[in-house]
């Protein structure tokens, strides 16, 4: 199988704090990969390094054979990484539909003047965008709330909308930062099904951070455990979760 994401020796320091050190990661195409670890272990920092929010001090990141080390967030998104955030970051004063359409921004284009003068190319492109957006919203069962303001959606649906928006940018790799945070068991179960569905139907590679071990053991095929900015264990989910070091550092006896 081909490698989708190949990270080698990634590291970053904030002042004297070594937040991530010697981080290696290899994810194959179509894999569902989990990144776990105690609070403050550097999981979100890894996400920020992968998406260009922070520039790494050393190491390199290859996405599908393309070097994306140190590129800007926008370039990295165009190269094919999309993400969601731990604390939901929706466009809250925009409609659910417009949130997804904003995600389609770089794939459906017309000029500013075409937009102002409502040319046929504007109408055509907008119709296509609407169709595509509705299609994505249907996957997440949000097509009934197209006209709602994003901030008026219930919490679980906001998380789903964020995933839909990320998918709208047509990524190769999807990063989910604690997608199940704040969800009840039913919602989590539903989310697990959705993540599976996204992987299978969009042929997506997914890397997710999660604390809910039911979700992690339920859907992740491989895991990396991070502790104090360094990799503690890496491998098949079942093996990693039975690793004595992981149990001591994170899961508890």
Partner 1 sequence: MQRMKTNKNFKSNLITYGIVIVAFAIAQTLQSTGNLSSLMKGLLVPICVYVILAVSLNLVVGISGELSLGHAGFMCVGAFFSAFFSKCMVDVIPISGLRFFFAVLVGAAGAAVFGVLIGIPVLRLRGDYLAIVTLAFGEIIKNVINVFYIGRDSNGFHFSMKDQFSLGMEPDGVMLLSGPQGITGITRDSSFLAGVILILITLFIVLNLIDSRDGRAIKSIRDNRIAAESIGINITKYKLMAFTVSAALAGMAGALYSHNLATLQASKFNFNTSILALVFVVLGGIGNIRGSVIAAVVLTALPELLRGLADYRMLIYAIVLIVMMLFNWAPKALEWRERYLGRIFRKSAKEGK
Return d(Cα 150, Cα 95) in angstroms, integer. Answer: 6
Residues 17-56: x where in contact with partner 1 by CB under 8 A, - otherwise, as a string: ----------------------------------x-x---
- Residue 169 within binding range of partner 1, rule CB under 8 A: yes
The one among 32, 97, 176, 232 contacting partner 1 by CB under 8 A: 97
Tokens of 137: 């919203």
State which of positions 59-88 bind partner 1 (CB under 8 A): 73-74, 77-78, 82-83, 85
Q: What's the Rg (C-alpha) of the chain? A: 19
Residue 69, C-beta contacts closer than 8 angstroms, at least 6 positions apart:
56, 59, 60, 61
Q: Considering the rule CB under 8 A, would residue 143 count as an interface residue with partner 1?
A: yes
Comparing CB distances to partner 1, the nearer of 170 and 230 is 170
Check binding of 179 to partner 1 (CB under 8 A). no
Number of shown-chain residues binding partner 1 (CB under 8 A):
46
Q: Length of the chain in residues, anyone?
A: 253
> Which of 12, 50, 68, 90 lies at the binding interface for partner 1 (CB under 8 A)?
90
Q: Which of 39, 65, 112, 120 binds partner 1 (CB under 8 A)?
A: 112
Q: Which is nearer to partner 1, 144 or 185 (CB)?
A: 144
Task: Name the residue among 5, 99, 106, 15 with its Cα closest to residue 60.
Answer: 5
CA separation for the pair 208, 213 (Å, rounded) = 12
- For residue 106, the number of C-alpha atoms closer than 13 Å in the C-beta half-sphere is 15
Question: Where does 48-134 show beta strands of DSSP type E?
Answer: 58-63, 66-67, 81-83
How far is the C-alpha of 38 from the C-alpha of 36, rounded, in Å?
7
| Least Cβ distance, residue 208 to partner 1 (angstroms) | 16
Least distance to partner 1 from the beta carbon of 164, Å? 11
Say if strands 173-177 and 205-209 run parallel, antiparallel, or are unpaired. parallel
Inter-residue contact 153 to 161 (CB < 8 Å): yes
Residue 188 touches partner 1, criterion: CB under 8 A: no
CB of 174 to partner 1, least distance (A): 12
Please tell me the distance from the alpha carbon of residue 224 to that of residue 236, in angstroms, as a whole number: 9
Out of 5, 25, 35, 101, name the contact with partner 1 by CB under 8 A: 101
Q: Is 93 in the site for partner 1 (CB under 8 A)?
A: yes
The contact set with partner 1 (CB under 8 A) reads 51, 53, 73-74, 77-78, 82-83, 85, 89-95, 97-99, 101-103, 105-106, 108-110, 112, 115-118, 122, 125-126, 129-130, 134, 143, 146-147, 149, 165-166, 168-169
């Amino acid at each position: 199988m081909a490698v989708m994401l190949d990270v080698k020796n990634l590291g970053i320091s904030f002042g004297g704090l070594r937040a991530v050190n010697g981080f290696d990661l290899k994810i194959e195409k179509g894999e569902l990969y989990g990144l776990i670890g105690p609070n403050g272990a550097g999981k979100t920092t890894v996400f920020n390094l992968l998406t260009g929010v922070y520039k790494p001090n050393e190491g390199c990141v290859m996405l599908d054979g393309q070097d994306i080390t140190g590129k800007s967030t926008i370039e990295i998104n165009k190269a094919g990484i999309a993400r969601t955030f731990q604390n939901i970051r929706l466009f809250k004063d925009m409609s659910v539909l417009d949130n997804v359409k904003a995600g389609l921004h770089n794939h459906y284009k017309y000029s500013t003047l075409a937009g102002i003068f409502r040319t046929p190319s504007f109408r055509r492109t907008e119709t296509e965008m609407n169709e595509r957006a509705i299609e994505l919203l249907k996957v997440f069962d949000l097509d009934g709330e197209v006209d709602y303001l994003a901030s008026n959606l219930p919490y679980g649906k906001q998380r789903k909308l964020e995933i839909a928006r990320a998918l709208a940018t047509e990524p190769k790799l999807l990063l989910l930062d604690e997608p199940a945070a704040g969800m009840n068991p039913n919602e989590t179960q539903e989310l697990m099904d959705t993540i599976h569905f996204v992987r299978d139907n969009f042929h997506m590679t997914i890397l997710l951070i999660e604390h809910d071990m039911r979700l992690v053991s339920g859907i992740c095929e491989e895991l990396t455990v991070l502790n104090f900015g360094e990799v503690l264990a890496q491998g098949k989910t079942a093996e990693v979760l039975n690793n004595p070091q992981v149990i001591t550092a994170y899961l508890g006896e």
